[in-house]
């Protein structure tokens, strides 16, 4: 079975059919997806702004990360599930025709790599820099990169809906 066949079978699935032909499934899930992304971006922005060097009221970076990460992950899981359901509606067009979708997936992967790199490097030494201002350059760069990538994800997500060949 080729990659194209797999994508076509996803689109032909009962979820794909419901998403395409149901009167309310797509708008409800799209709204839920957008709300989840707002929470993801909001919680990430709180942490990233601290990493960039904006001090948080009475909280160091480690405390902010500890407090925000559970909300970020729960919202991300909701965004992922709803996004996958939305994808099923037009999986072939998204995969093979939609440049904004393709770029969004690339930028999401880069955001994940940035997060992994931060957690494997600077976060392991957070005790050394947590309450220190100015924040170390590598930490600022990780925060700025994260903020930028997530804003691009939001931009591309909106672009998908307005540029899709099947809209």
Nearest residue to 157 via CA among 112, 104, 83, 87: 104
Q: What is the pTM of this model?
A: 0.90
Provide the residue range defining the domain that includes 106. Answer: 3-163
The chain-wide mean pLDDT, for the chain, equals: 92
pLDDT tens digits for range 118-160: 999 999 988 888 876 678 899 999 999 999 999 999 999 999 9
pLDDT tens digits for range 44-70: 999 999 899 887 667 788 988 999 999
Q: How many domains does the chain have?
A: 1
Using the predicted structure, report yes or no on whether residue 9 has a pLDDT greater than 80.
Answer: yes
Residue 149: Cβ within 10 Å count: 20
């Amino acid at each position: 079975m080729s990659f194209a066949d797999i994508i076509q079978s996803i689109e032909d699935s009962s979820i794909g059919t419901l998403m395409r032909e149901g009167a309310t499934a797509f708008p409800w899930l799209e709204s839920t997806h957008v709300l989840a992304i707002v929470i993801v971006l909001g919680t990430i922005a709180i942490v990233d702004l601290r990493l960039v060097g904006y001090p948080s009221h009475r909280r160091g970076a480690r405390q902010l990360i500890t407090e925000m990460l559970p909300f970020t992950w729960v919202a991300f899981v909701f965004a992922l599930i709803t996004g996958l359901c939305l994808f099923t509606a037009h999986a072939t067009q998204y995969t093979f025709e939609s440049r904004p979708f393709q770029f969004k997936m690339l930028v999401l992967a880069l955001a994940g790599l940035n997060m992994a790199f931060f957690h494997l490097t600077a976060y392991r030494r957070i005790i050394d820099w947590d309450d220190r201002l100015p924040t170390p350059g590598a930490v600022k760069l990780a925060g700025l990169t994260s903020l930028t990538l997530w804003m691009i994800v939001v931009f591309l997500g909106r672009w998908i809906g307005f540029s899709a060949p099947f809209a």
